[in-house]
Structure 1
Amino acid sequence: MFKGGKITQGDQNIPQVANHGLLKYPFRLNFYDEPPLFDVTIEEFETCALDRLRILAEIESSAARNRSWEETKAVTSAQCSKYLPLSPTLSKFADRDGERKRDHLSHFVLRLAFCRSEDLRRRFVKAESTLFKTRYDDDISGERENFLNSRNFNWILVDQEEHTKFSTELIAAYQGPKGETDRVSERYYKVKWTRVPDLVEKRKVFLKGGWAYVPHREQSSIVFQEFEAHLEKALEMTARLLPRLDEDTRLVPILNNLSQGSLAGISSEWANASGSTNGAEIRAEMVDNLAKKHFPLCMRTLHDSLQRDNHLKHFGRLQYGLFLKVLGLSIEEAIAFWRKSFSRMTDDKFNKEYKYNIRHSYGLEGKRANYAAKSCLQLLTPGSSSDHGCPYRTYSPENLQSTLLSSYSYLGLGSADLPEIMATVKAGHYHVACTRVFELTHASSGVSRGQGIGEGESVTHPNQYAAKSMELQKAKENAMEVE
């Protein structure tokens, strides 16, 4: 349980400090001044943070793909509605306090995860600021104004006398609507120029004596800068206090996984995929054709190695086998597929050394666990070798480019597309590179640049990639039948 910044076990009889039912969250917007002072289970501690991390990871992906602000805002809003919705204050039917409680908790959990290094803090501030800006723009104007009035931003409203004194300069610097009435009647706020460096750089404000005269239409710049400065200080303070948590064996693994999660995004419904998710059973003889049309590069390279060598190492077999299992390959078809693939060995050797492991991965042997397929995050974890990890991470630039062309050139990927893909690989955004390959190879199915797997979402799981590819082909075939 999370109580006043501490985690306690749910079955301990500890008096509750605050009843969240009595707490009020009057605004959708939040500067997160106070830590959560309510009980929460360790499960909720992690799941809330994962939901927020999915949003922040997609924000980072948008930056890596050079999306415009409007595109980034649309993707972020869609992710928020899906994972961390915040209803307006005037909403009568939504659980307003419950939604804002989850938002509050998730922010502070990720603070713990991302305060550990300067690079993590920088990335967290950048992503959280984008999330705040999106919510600020989407907020109802009246509710946003109430939020601004609830805080002291240390700005000085320029009075009429000063406005008249500098009217010529203010009108000259004004970059709003061209109407003379708007220029003259615009309200202005006076702040130290160091608080609005973005407006100074773009020459959107009048400067006098170290003060910047900010028009009301640019008021948000002050708010955003204040949010970033406030969060940067809070993260530095959290980093100094973090060593106190090092002895808590329940939290440290969770926080480590959260900080690593932004490398490959956090998969949503695919996170615990352990059974068929495409609604159709796959037969053994179909796998080769599916691999050539629908598999991501990690699974495509495993399939090609298997066909070439009639063998895969243990972890490669495990990774590929679980992928095929979730794709819809039954245990009977799986045994048939692997037996045919291992054509150089005798039936006796296959039954003794490999058949048990295949049945084990389907939960039919050993402890009979229904194992999930590996996500992009797991494939990117250090330790994954070049033959069963993520090719975008493990392959050399030359090898990666030749592999991409040999695997996907007939699906629409050309040599002219490689520089963009390799730039994202060099920057460490491997799942962004994979997403761009998906867009290029599915352009004939109507997938446009920036659309990703859908609604701008990036690839975060090999099965997500394959299932969406197969879904697009099915829709294309249905449309052709109708025509």
Structure 2
Amino acid sequence: MFKGSHKPAFSNDASLQVENHGTAQYPFRLNFYDKPPLYDVTIEDLEICALDRLRILAEIESSAARNRSWEETKSFTMAQCSKYLPLNANSARTDLHSERRKDHLGHFVLRLAFCRSEDLRRRFIKAESTLFRIRFETDDGQERRQFLSSREFRWTAVDNAEKEKYKAELKANYQGFRNEDDKERAFAQENYYKVRWTRVPDLVEKRKVFLKGGWAYVPSRDQSSIAYQEFEDQLGNALQMTAKALPRLDEDNRLLPILNNLSQGFVAGVSSDWVAPSSEGNEDQVRAEMVDELAQKHFPLCMRNLHQNLKKDHHLKHFERLTYGLFLKVLGLSVEEAIIFWRKSFVGSHVKDDKFNKEYKYNIRHSYGLEGRRANYPAKSCQQLLMAESSSYGCPYRNFSPENLQSALLSAYSSQGLTSSDLPEIMQTVSARHYHVACTRVFETTHAKSGVKRGEGVGAGESVTHPNQYATKSMEMEKQRKDSMDVKAEMEMEVDL
């Protein structure tokens, strides 16, 4: 299945196309993923397919952690799907085979990544079930009916005699009708299906079905609940089987690092593909003397913590310096300004000029790609910080005790509008291990005066997934606010003249 070549994995196979623009292998947009992919694929494409799907699932989990409504969750998820994992109906004039093949492969790769613990399996099932439900609700009506007809859901159609026998009980679930005649007409047009009550626990919990002799009488308007539960049950069983087979992959050193990286994605969040903007030609270049003020206004807690430790101790350990230095580099601090910044920051420590020039200056230039391998090192992402071996330069939301975290948040952001009343919600997301969501909520709260609303994140509902993403967005918003104030002041001066 997996090859190391660079052959494209998703070539358009004309033999699989059918007249309705669907495919013989994937006749429907909806999929229960009963059959594994049995074709060759490159490692590169395997990773891309899985990561793009993981972005969608991370957005779904983020929506749940942020208590978004169902319509909000559906809206944000569909926006992410159109960007990373489009999946069109058969009537669309697109390469449906490639879309559905990518969807199919990504799902099975993530099965391998998330089958290895009970917690990962539970989270994967919940996110995948939500994605299936969103696709089900947004699917073409005719294609959805064809999909349901193509599968054996083990339901029994209720005939007219049985429907009439329990008429009073079945009509009791009809709500919102203005009069009895409207309710009678709706009942006459409704079809019912019998399934064992254990297959529709959500409908039973909400008292939306009539129960008799262990059977649940499900109206056609709630038929989707049977499909949802069937999807969850089959996926749960499949993950158990995958977990038993996974040890066979232990010797494949190509695949395991990818699976480990993917499973960590739920912890850090991968709902954004943020890329640092180019600093070339930037008139607002960051200078050494600006860093302290920027830290007070715009830095996320991880970088703010490193900055405060540097001010207090006049020194940082190697990986702390590397993490903070790369963050400042991507923020726009040139290598010349970086040398000035670190030299001033070390004043008062044991690091003298001679030692600084021999050791630290070389490391700074090395991180900018001017020494050694001359590689352009990127700044650390939230996922990398969450997996850091040392808590001194990792994510405070994960590494700090609850008491220390709350104190640090109030100390860092009280001047920007964060109050003790905001802490319970933030700490709730921390205790649920949604660390990037907690950081995003802090951003929303501290930028409320700039017009950021709850749920907007750092733009278009995106969660924070990179420290530079947080700082860059904060700085952009302040610049926009100042530009707006300047324009307003100019207009007022023109009126006075």
The TM-score range, normalised by the shorter chain, is over 0.9
Aligned to 2:208: 204
**Cα deviation per residue 1:348-400 (whole Å; 9 max; x = unaligned)?**
22111200000111111111111111111111115132x21111111122211
Aligned to 2:114: 114
Q: 1:170 to 1:138 in 2, by over 3 A?
A: same
Deviation, structure 1 residue 476: 2.1
Aligned to 1:125: 125
Q: CA RMSD in A?
A: 2.1
Distance 1:415 1:11 in 2: 54
Deviation, structure 1 residue 125: 0.5
Q: Does the 8 A contact of 2:366 with 2:374 survive in 1?
A: yes
Do structure 1's residue 381 and structure 2's residue 374 form an aligned pair? no
Give the one of 186, 191, 195 matched to 2:190.
186
Distance 2:420 2:12 in 1: 60
Do structure 1's residue 465 and structure 2's residue 458 form an aligned pair? no
Deviation, structure 1 residue 109: 0.2
Aligned to 2:221: 217
Give the one of 19, 22, 33 matched to 2:15.
22
Distance 1:171 1:83 in 2: 44
Aligned to 1:240: 244
Aligned to 2:174: 174
Deviation, structure 1 residue 66: 2.2
**Cα deviation per residue 1:68-100 (whole Å; 9 max; x = unaligned)?**
2222222211221221111222111x2222111
Q: TM-score, normalised by structure 1?
A: 0.93
Q: 1:245 to 1:398 in 2, by over 3 A?
A: same
Q: Greater shift after overlay, 429-438 or 148-157?
A: 148-157
Where in structure 2 are the equivalents of 1:17-96 lying within 5 Å? 20-23=13-16, 24=23, 25-92=26-93, 94-96=94-96
Q: Does the 8 A contact of 1:401 with 1:418 survive in 2?
A: yes
Do structure 1's residue 415 and structure 2's residue 415 form an aligned pair? no
Where in structure 2 are the equivalents of 1:82-481 lying within 5 Å? 82-92=83-93, 94-175=94-175, 179-180=182-183, 181-266=185-270, 268-270=272-274, 276=279, 280-344=284-348, 345-385=351-391, 387-481=392-486
Deviation, structure 1 residue 233: 1.0
**Cα deviation per residue 1:181-203 (whole Å; 9 max; x = unaligned)?**
22332121111111111111111
Q: 1:47 to 1:277 in 2, by over 3 A?
A: farther
Distance 1:73 1:44 in 2: 27
Question: Aligned AA for 1:245?
Answer: L
- Same amino acid, percent of matched pairs: 69
Q: Does the 8 A contact of 2:153 with 2:227 survive in 1?
A: yes
- SS of the residue corresponding to residue 214 of structure 1 reads strand
**Cα deviation per residue 1:216-254 (whole Å; 9 max; x = unaligned)?**
111111010000001011111111111111110100111
Question: Aligned AA for 1:152?
Answer: E
Q: Greater shift after overlay, 102-111 or 68-77?
A: 68-77
Q: Does the 8 A contact of 1:19 with 1:38 survive in 2?
A: no
Distance 2:234 2:385 in 1: 36
Q: Greater shift after overlay, 435-444 or 330-339?
A: 330-339
Distance 1:38 1:227 in 2: 24
Deviation, structure 1 residue 281: 2.4
Q: Structure 1 stretches (4+) deviating beyond 6 angstroms?
A: none
Structure 2: state its 5+ residue gaps: 17-22, 489-497
Question: Aligned AA for 2:431?
Answer: K
Structure 1: state its 5+ residue gaps: none
Distance 2:410 2:271 in 1: 27
Distance 1:384 1:132 in 2: 39
Distance 2:428 2:372 in 1: 45
**Cα deviation per residue 1:276-312 (whole Å; 9 max; x = unaligned)?**
4995522222211111111100001111111222211
Distance 2:34 2:385 in 1: 37
Q: Greater shift after overlay, 19-28 or 465-474?
A: 19-28
